[in-house]
Amino acid sequence: MLVQQKRNPALRTASLVWLDEVDGLGWVMDRLIEIIRISNIDQFDFDLREFAESPQVARYDASDNGHFAWHSDVGEGILARKRKLTLVLQLSEPDSYEGGDLEIMPSAQILSANRGQGCVSVFPSFTLHQVAPVQSGVRYSLTLWAHGPVFR
């Protein structure tokens, strides 16, 4: 079911769907979990224990000023506080929309994620990031979070 995100349009305007036990997606989840596992070993060494939330597909449409302002993926709620790594999978073809870049700020420098369809970005969930406003077309992405004990 597609849900229009309208709680705070200054922060985010997107349509969202969660992929709870969608038939035929097991192999996709297996590959994404393996990407997170390898990224964690190679770069982060976080204590990861589970994937407690369903993957989320977001649709950012220029006609709705689709965007997601600067934020981190940790916050209120027990699951959000346990998020350790965020994975964002680019679903759209890069020339199907303008704007809409996923920008990540791991330090004072802002990095733009690869827009290639099928490209994956993995970063600590506490890292500031945004989806810049989509200027034309529609951007689709899938987000998955890996969970562990709450950071101290």
Predicted pLDDT at 7: 62
The residue extents of the domains of the chain are 12-147
Specify whether domain 12-147 bears CATH 2.60.120.620.
yes
According to the model, what pLDDT value does residue 1 have? 47
What's the predicted TM-score (pTM) here?
0.92
Residue whose C-alpha is closest to residue 60's, from 15, 93, 20? 15
User: Tens of pLDDT along 35-87?
Assistant: 999 999 999 999 999 999 999 999 999 999 999 999 999 988 888 899 999 99
More confident residue, 97 or 150: 97
| Average pLDDT over the chain, rounded to an integer | 92
Euclidean distance between CA atoms 132 and 129, whole angstroms: 9
